[in-house]
Structure 1
Amino acid sequence: MTALKAHEVARFLSRPDLTEGIFLAYGPDTGLVRETAQTLVRYFSGEKGQGTEVVTFEGSELDADPSRLAIEARTPSLFGDKRIIRVRGAGKSLVMTLTEIRDDPQGAIVILEAGNLTPKDALRALVDAAKFGRSLPCYADSDETIAILIRDTFSKNGIRAGNDAISTLREVLGNDREITRRELEKLVLYAAQSKVLTEEDVITLCADNAALVIDQIADAAGTGHAQKLEDAINRAIGNAVDPQRLLATALIHFNMLRRLRAEVDTGRSVRDVLDNARPKPHFSRRAAIEQQVRLWSDAALANACERLQVVTGESRRKSGLAETLFRRTMLALCMVAADR
């Protein structure tokens, strides 16, 4: 009986301690569950996959007749001594059939993929307790595991990426392993010739460009940079970003500044407030947000929020004037910041 912890899975996958039996990859990160199962298939198939037969089922196929799994597991391979049965979306209907296999696999390798299972779940409990069974939890990546994955991927492909590029990539990635892999594959392909990745490359290829330009609008207005504001608004409108979305985001931004300012007004330092902010501002915006918190008083931020609320309502009544209203309001707020 071996119940692996999530942090032990990677080490186990590099050298499994069983050559047959039942392997259960489960957890909320479906991308990582799939990747774990694929890694096991590759490992047991060997480098060239010779002498190995892989049979794949969907869990729904076996629900009506779970005995098909046992039949496949007991059927000698047509191509050699290894037989791998992979089941996607495995569920409780397989428990009785797997009970027949767990203590005497007879060379069969059964790889199961499942969702998030509690310790009391019948399928997980069976595999946890089996002599020839290993349960492999697959939970969402942490900052540390994604950073390691990014660096390892670039290292294996001979790609040099600066700390700023890696930090930005970590910020724009989520915690789903499958999405992370796709983004990394895209970057590796892009840098196949140059073997170099910059922060700008990461932003161009992976970031939500609409979200980035919206942030630039808010920061330009909040710091009093009129030319940057105009350029950012033109880019947003050119990318067909709805002016009402821009207004809503600006209101969220100034409300966020007001919350931060309120904490500073209690006597805390701006840096301490930003260090403990939730959600924490992206590191690339930190200096701009710190400057804005220092520039704006609570009263001025209250006025800005009230003005944005009024204009948001007006833009909904006069949708044809939404862009004009947005430009006028943001320029007015920019001028307030420039005068402070």
Structure 2
Amino acid sequence: MILAKRPEVDRFLARPDPAVRAVLLHGKDRSGVGERATTLGRTVVKDLNDPFNVTLLTDADLDAGDGRLEDALAAMSMMGGRRLVRVRLGAAKAGIDKALADAVKRHADGEFNPETLLVIETDALGRDSALRKTAEAAQGAAAIACYEDETGDVARMTREALAADKVGLTSDALERFVARLPRERGLMRQEIERLALYIGPGSGRTLDLDGLEAHLGVEPDASLQDAALDAFGGRAEKAQGALRRAFAEGESAVSALRQLSLHLQKLRRIAVLTANGAGPKEAAKAAGVFWKQEAEMLRQARSWRLELLEEVHESVYATDAAVRSTGSPDQLLAERLLLEVSARARRAGL
């Protein structure tokens, strides 16, 4: 089954058809893929970290070839009820694509535990993908392509999120804000949350264009932005200094990783747009790059290939999980990642 139109996708994510046992979410917007997978997963279990009813698998687990996916799909809940199996993939691999296609077909046909929902998250898949073909054709499966949000969808998302905090923007301010947002779902939500905090949740205020411009000029985490810019530019000492300055100012390791992720997504957005024919300046603007950083960001984008950015994305994800663990040396972990990014940048020629 193919789900393409936004209303039908939203309805399915909120209340999936119980006959559907496997769902493929794929697209260039990995934040959008992850957000939809989370929404879908919560219809099955309340806690996505439940060790008894949730299994998370990655490329490495599937590469092992020891039947972990089949075991997870066949397992029964110890406490009764439904189970969730999430498969989160990085770069597409032909072997894994075929293996997952086979698993989706078998699960959709009822070979495994019918009370288990299989959710697969991956990059955009071409029409030659066996996994995509199977998910689209099988009766007990669904395929959802996660495209970048259109301007109207972004404006609607912004209005709804701000309204939930009892704040808002005038029409011209909303147009300006939406135009500068990066088109990555997770990053958009972060920027909207940041704006709501600036306006004052529950205040009932509506910010006009002048007020928005004042917000856009406020950079409370400027040291972290400098650290990310310098790290991806291969300037290890400056990046390290900016990071330590940010920590001295009270910033957290989680915030540092957020800035690294934000910078990475902007570079990835520029790379994708230019690869599809957009001009460099046009791509930088669409990625939400501040005009003063445009030249440096474009310099970096010329050296950071998409496959290198994906490798860094995996490192950021792993470090974020480690930082959030109780008792972890979070600042040291963030600093180590920053130095790793700087080293990768230098190897890339920066």
Query: The TM-score by the shorter chain falls in which range?
Result: 0.5 to 0.7
Aligned to 2:2: 3
Structure 1 residues 161, 83: closer, same or farther in 2, change over 3 A? same
Structure 1 residues 174, 129: closer, same or farther in 2, change over 3 A? same
Q: Does 1:129 align with 2:128?
A: no
Computing the radius of gyration from Cα coordinates, the structure with the larger value is 1
Which whole-Å CA distance do the structure 2 matches of 1:201 and 1:61 have between them? 49
Query: Cα RMSD between the aligned structures?
Result: 3.0
Which whole-Å CA distance do the structure 1 matches of 2:53 and 2:167 have between them? 36
Aligned to 1:18: 18
2:191 pairs with one of 183, 191, 195: 183
1:101 pairs with one of 107, 111, 128: 107
2:205 pairs with one of 186, 196, 203: 196
Which ranges of structure 2 fall in alignment gaps of 5 or more residues? 91-95, 220-280, 286-350
Which ranges of structure 1 fall in alignment gaps of 5 or more residues? 210-277, 283-340
Which whole-Å CA distance do the structure 2 matches of 1:207 and 1:41 have between them? 38
Aligned to 1:268: none
Which whole-Å CA distance do the structure 2 matches of 1:52 and 1:206 have between them? 45
Q: Matched residue of 2:57: which SS?
A: strand
Structure 1 residues 47, 30: closer, same or farther in 2, change over 3 A? closer
TM-score, normalised by the number of residues in structure 1? 0.56
AA partner of residue 78 (structure 1): M
Aligned to 1:76: 76
Structure 1 residues 28, 6: closer, same or farther in 2, change over 3 A? farther
Q: Matched residue of 1:76: which SS?
A: coil
Moved beyond 6 Å, runs of 4+: 47-52
Q: String of CA shifts for 1:34-90, please: whole Å, max 9, x gaps.
A: 111011011222599999721111123212226211111111112321100011117
Which whole-Å CA distance do the structure 2 matches of 1:208 and 1:173 have between them? 16
AA partner of residue 128 (structure 2): K
Q: Contact 1:21 / 1:102 at 8 angstroms: preserved in 2?
A: yes
Q: Contact 1:102 / 1:132 at 8 angstroms: preserved in 2?
A: yes
Q: Contact 1:53 / 1:80 at 8 angstroms: preserved in 2?
A: no
Structure 1 residues 128, 195: closer, same or farther in 2, change over 3 A? same
AA partner of residue 119 (structure 1): R
C-alpha displacement of 1:200: 3.9
TM-score, normalised by the number of residues in structure 2? 0.54
Q: Matched residue of 1:23: which SS?
A: strand
Q: Matched residue of 1:112: which SS?
A: strand
Aligned to 1:149: 157
Q: Contact 2:101 / 2:132 at 8 angstroms: preserved in 1?
A: no
Q: String of CA shifts for 1:297-329, please: whole Å, max 9, x gaps.
A: xxxxxxxxxxxxxxxxxxxxxxxxxxxxxxxxx
AA partner of residue 15 (structure 1): R
AA partner of residue 129 (structure 1): A
Which whole-Å CA distance do the structure 2 matches of 1:6 and 1:52 have between them? 34
Which whole-Å CA distance do the structure 1 matches of 2:181 and 2:53 have between them? 36
Which whole-Å CA distance do the structure 2 matches of 1:182 and 1:147 have between them? 15
Report the structure, 1 or 2, having the larger helix content: 1
Structure 1 residues 115, 15: closer, same or farther in 2, change over 3 A? same
C-alpha displacement of 1:20: 4.8
